[in-house]
């Protein structure tokens, strides 16, 4: 019994479905749209440090090389809404970075500290109380400077009645 | 065996900076630098027929280059072009003269190449998980080289290509009168 108590002393296990995603204002999306309830999965990239190795006689020594090798991208999968509002917003946001017709590119700069093409995205783990209210815990992943590098990709299927799922893959500046 | 692997860490080759000491534009250029070279003085030695080795002459620091990412305002090119133009008039095809030696020396660039090493770990040990904040700066200067009285040679040609997917790079070549070091 002591062992059982010890296991739960640090709290219950984190559950994969208890999380929330909050976006900075998504360009081309007017008003609050409940993206949160449409998100099905979020992929947090593993934090990776680079290494180098050398030999000294029979020894093989591996040391950190000071390079951060964490993938500079993460993905969010969501159910597309009936009017494709979210999909359109992400698609237009991407088109505003590189215009697919003219080939023009928006400069990756900020005005008064606010980027014109990038937004912050915060993913919080937490728990839901009995009322269904989300209570965030201390584990928060804050992605700064996010931009949609890959939007959509899905298959329309006459023989399926399942909700249409698609993903947006974001590039970002930093993850904290 | 003596713990040679941890006593003093190896100097990592990526932790360096180059700054122009006698320029106000250094901060703008510093983060745009991609690569550079530190040239050194070399002694030439010749072997006589008898097998005896004797000092022959000295090879002074060769020309070196700095490669930088260009900004969309072309600040990098403008900065070095302005420096270049202090010595050579391209319209008249003439070298310029200076009012005094002091004035001339002030227009030569002095560069500082600095290597860095970690000074401490990112946060304290034993402070628990709650409330830990990463330190903003955990690196200290480990060694510096100085390229003194650098004279401009010129830019590398720029290759224009449509299949490139990276920022435009500008390479400026120069030569230093002397390269010194300082801890």
Residue reference for tokens 């002459």: B57
Residue-wise pLDDT for B139-154, tens only, equals: 889 999 999 999 999 9
Residue A88's domain is classified under what CATH number? 2.30.110
pLDDT one digit per residue (tens) for chain A, 176 residues: 577 777 677 677 888 888 888 888 888 787 666 677 789 999 999 999 999 999 888 989 899 998 999 999 999 999 999 999 889 999 999 999 999 999 999 988 888 878 888 988 988 888 778 887 888 877 899 999 999 999 989 999 999 999 999 999 999 999 98
B43: in domain: no
The CATH number linked to B87 is: 2.30.110
Which of A63, A108, A140 is the mutation pick for testing B, counting most B CBs within 10 A?
A63
For residue A62, what is the nearest residue in chain B, using CA coordinates? B5
Backbone φ, ψ for residue A69 (5° rounding): -105, 10
Domain membership flag for residue B5: no
Tell me the nearest-neighbour CA distance from B12 into chain A, angstroms: 7
Question: Which stretches does DSSP call E strand in B77-118?
Answer: 88-89, 94-95, 109-118
Examine residue B79 and state whether it is found in any structural domain, yes or no.
yes
In a domain, B57, yes or no: no
Q: What residue ranges of chain B have pLDDT lower than 70?
A: 1-6, 120-137, 183
Query: How many domains does one find in chain A?
Result: 1
Specify the pLDDT at position B131: 60
Give A63→chain B minimum CA distance, Å: 9
Phi then psi for residue A67, to 5 deg, are -95, 135
Using CB atoms and an 8 Å cut-off, which of residues 6-65 of chain A contact chain B?
56, 61, 63, 65
Domain with A14 in it: 2-175
* Ramachandran sector of residue A82 (left: φ over 0; alpha: ψ -120 to 50; beta: rest): alpha
pTM higher than 0.80 = yes
> What are the structure tokens assigned to B161, written together?
């290509």
Question: Is B4 domain-assigned?
Answer: no
Count of domains in chain B? Answer: 1
Q: Taking Cα atoms as reference points, which of A139, A153, A155, A149 lies closest to residue A170?
A: A149
Does B158 reside within a domain? yes
Asked if residue B52 is part of any domain, the answer here is no
Give residue B68's domain range.
Answer: 16-38+64-122+133-182
- Give the up-direction half-sphere exposure of residue B25: CA atoms within 13 A in the CB hemisphere: 12
Tell me if chain A has a CB within 8 Å of the CB of B163. Answer: no
Domain-located, residue B152: yes
Q: What sign for the dihedral angle of Cα B122, B123, B128, B130?
A: negative
Whether B12 sits inside 8 A of A65 (CB atoms) is yes
């Amino acid at each position: 019994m002591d062992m059982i108590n010890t296991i739960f002393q640090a709290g219950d296990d984190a559950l994969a479905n208890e999380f929330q995603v909050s976006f900075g204002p998504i360009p081309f999306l007017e008003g609050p749209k409940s993206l949160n309830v449409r998100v099905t999965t979020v992929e947090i990239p593993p934090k990776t440090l680079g290494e180098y190795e050398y030999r000294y006689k029979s020894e093989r020594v591996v040391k950190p090389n000071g390079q951060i090798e964490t993938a500079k991208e993460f993905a969010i999968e969501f159910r597309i809404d009936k009017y494709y509002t979210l999909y359109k917003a992400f698609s237009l946001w991407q088109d505003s970075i590189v215009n697919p017709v003219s080939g023009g590119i928006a400069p990756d700069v900020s005005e008064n500290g606010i980027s014109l093409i990038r937004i912050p995205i915060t993913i919080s783990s937490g728990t839901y109380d009995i009322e269904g209210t989300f209570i965030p815990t201390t584990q928060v992943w804050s992605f700064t400077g996010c931009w949609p590098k890959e939007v959509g990709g899905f298959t329309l299927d006459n023989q399926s009645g399942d909700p249409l799922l698609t993903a947006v893959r974001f590039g970002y500046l930093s993850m904290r | 065996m003596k713990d040679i692997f941890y006593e003093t860490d190896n100097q990592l080759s990526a932790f360096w900076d180059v700054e122009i000491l006698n320029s106000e534009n250094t901060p703008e250029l510093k983060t745009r630098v991609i690569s550079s070279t530190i040239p050194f003085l070399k002694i030439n030695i010749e072997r006589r027929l008898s097998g005896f080795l004797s000092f022959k002459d000295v090879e002074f620091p060769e020309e070196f280059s700095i490669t930088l990412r260009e900004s969309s305002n072309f600040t990098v090119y403008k900065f070095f072009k302005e420096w270049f133009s202090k010595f050579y008039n391209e319209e008249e095809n003439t070298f310029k003269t200076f009012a005094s030696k002091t004035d001339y020396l002030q227009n030569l660039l002095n560069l500082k190449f600095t290597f860095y090493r970690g000074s401490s770990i990112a946060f304290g040990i034993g402070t628990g998980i709650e409330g830990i904040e990463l330190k903003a700066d955990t690196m200290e200067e480990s060694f510096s080289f100085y390229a003194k009285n650098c004279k401009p040679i010129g830019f590398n040609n720029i290759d224009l290509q449509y299949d490139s997917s990276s920022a435009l790079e500008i390479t400026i070549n120069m030569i230093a009168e002397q390269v010194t070091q300082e801890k």
